[in-house]
Amino acid sequence: MTKELPGRPEVRAKVLKAALLAAADAAPGPVKVADIARRAEMSPGHVMYYFQRRDRIVAETLLHAERELAEKRDKQLAKAADAEQALETLVRLYLPSNRADARWRLWAQLLASAPDDAETRGAFAGVIDSWAEALAAVIATGRDQGTMACQDPATAAYQACRLMDGYALEVLMGAPGRGRTWAVRSVLDAVRRSVS
């Protein structure tokens, strides 16, 4: 993402929205430029003019989706009555809504083919860190409220986020009995035990 790309933010935003829809609708596997172009009502060549490579579309779409979700997360955490409610809110936002969750499908594609430039890798490290930092703040608040006894919220939060990553992949796989409800319950049980 270090190379300057063509302007027209409204066209780029249209492509990002189309890519998110394509990820949600597509069968498991890579999002196709043709599917994105069809949803954006553009030609594949026009889409590629703005992004040059399919992996760039995937990366930018995921970063866009994560920025929007981070805003939602921060607003909802600010409204939480206590640390327990904040923990449940964060876990529910983090995990995929179902096996067709567009954001998580894009994460799976990104993990299968890691970005080749340092700027993009740094942006995704920032996304990962922001979730761990938000969870660490929840755990620290729980400690202050006397409902959590964790002495190292940062480490506990990072480990919990990696645990959630594993459960998220299980949800995406769609195995019977391993859907969102199971993942949320399992993660909450594990995190509560680890911080008590």
What residue ranges do the domains of the chain occupy?
9-195
pLDDT at 125: 93
Q: How many CB atoms lie within 10 A of CB 52?
A: 13
Predicted local confidence at residue 7, as pLDDT: 62
What's residue 8's pLDDT?
Answer: 78
> According to CATH, what is the number of the domain 9-195?
1.10.357.10
List the Cα angle 151/152/158 in 5-degree steps: 145
Low-confidence ranges of the chain (pLDDT < 70): 1-7, 26-28
Query: What pTM was estimated for this model as a whole?
Result: 0.88
pLDDT value of position 104: 94
Q: How far apart are CA 192 and CA 116, in angstroms?
A: 37
Q: What angle do CA 83, 188, 65 make, to 5 degrees?
A: 80
Q: How far is 169 from 117, CA to CA, in rounded Å?
A: 25
Residue 1: the pLDDT is 46
CA angle 39, 24, 65 (to 5 degrees): 90
- Cβ contacts of 169 within 8 Å, gap of 6 or more: 108
Nearest one of 49, 144, 185 to 40, comparing CA atoms: 49
Task: Fill in the amino acid letter for 62.
Answer: L
